[in-house]
Amino acid sequence: MKTALPNLAPALLVPALLASGGAVAAPMTLADYLALSGPPPSATFAYGSAPSQFAELFRPAGPGPFPVVVLVHGGCWTVEYGGISQMHNVAGALAARGIAVWNVEYRRADEEGGGYPGTYLDMNAALDKLAAEAPAHQLDTSRIVALGHSAGGQLVQWIAGRSRIAASSPLFQPSPLPVREVISLGGLADLRNEQALIKTSCGRELAQLAGRPSASRPDIFADTNAAELMPNGSRTLLVTGELDTISPPRAAHDYAARARAAGDRAEVVILPGASHYDEIAASSPAWKLILPLIENALGMAR
């Protein structure tokens, strides 16, 4: 049985972000993020033939079964801003807590085959591969959280709604692996309503992320927009740095309101003094606030 979600009122979280000496830690920059590193994975698995179609397993020491975090990196859907290697810092920290991590690489919008539909097909294939490999590695896929940062937040929020995609869509996946717990760190998930933000923050055109309309697919958001694949029975935690300018707190609150209006559970957590990059760094003071959210979503008693 899952423990109750702790009181997450932002004002109560400020003390956790205080560094020694009483000063608030400086928010991380893009350069700080790109310098992140961590331990190597336990194993790597290809789920397709393209160079970017693989996932890394970070398996904790000892016998399982282990709860699983599906970790999806950001980077504005482009190869320019790092990706899977920066996630090693968080993956290593989670594995040290007894949590297995399925760290997903995927074809990005500026890679051959990426964008629509390729990036979404990669998410489907990566989760199929996880389901296939789970028994051999003692991974408990009944206890699973999808954790995504920035563009990866959009993808994990989309994962939760896959079961609502029509069979006529290229993205349709019969009997997808259920993911009911989602944590989106500075996610940019509402493609329809946040077009201007996605353009200013990432320079992405919606055609790259959602394709172009056609006679058979007049609404490009019907199978790509997480905000319209609800209700899907998921709970989404939208975690955003107070100083995040890529995906500001306003976007998290707006998405949560849409999710709740549709009938799903959604809550917003604001990280005081944190930037867009603190959200995904195990070395950041913000991690002390994020880790309990992950463990709570996995039903881990501490």
pTM to 2 decimal places? 0.91
Angle, CA 94 vertex, CA 93 and CA 100 arms, to 5°: 140
**Measuring CA to CA, which residue among 33, 73, 16 is closest to residue 273?**
16
193-237 pLDDT per residue, tens: 999 999 899 888 888 899 999 999 999 999 999 999 999 999 999
- Average the pLDDT over 108-130 and give the result: 96
β-bridge mates for residue 184, sequence order: 148, 238
Residue 38 has a pLDDT of 96
- Average the pLDDT over 46-61 and give the result: 97
* Residue in this structure with the two tokens 């003094």, named with its chain if needed: 273
Angle, CA 33 vertex, CA 28 and CA 36 arms, to 5°: 120
123-181 pLDDT per residue, tens: 999 999 999 999 999 999 999 999 999 999 999 999 999 999 999 999 999 999 999 99
Flag the least confident range among 12-26, 92-106, 150-164, 267-281. 12-26
Residue 11 has a pLDDT of 32
- Average the pLDDT over 56-82 and give the result: 93
Cα-Cα end-to-end distance for the chain = 13
Flag the least confident range among 14-18, 102-106, 297-301. 14-18
Say which residue, 91 or 203, is predicted with more confidence: 91
Q: Which amino acid is at 294?
A: I
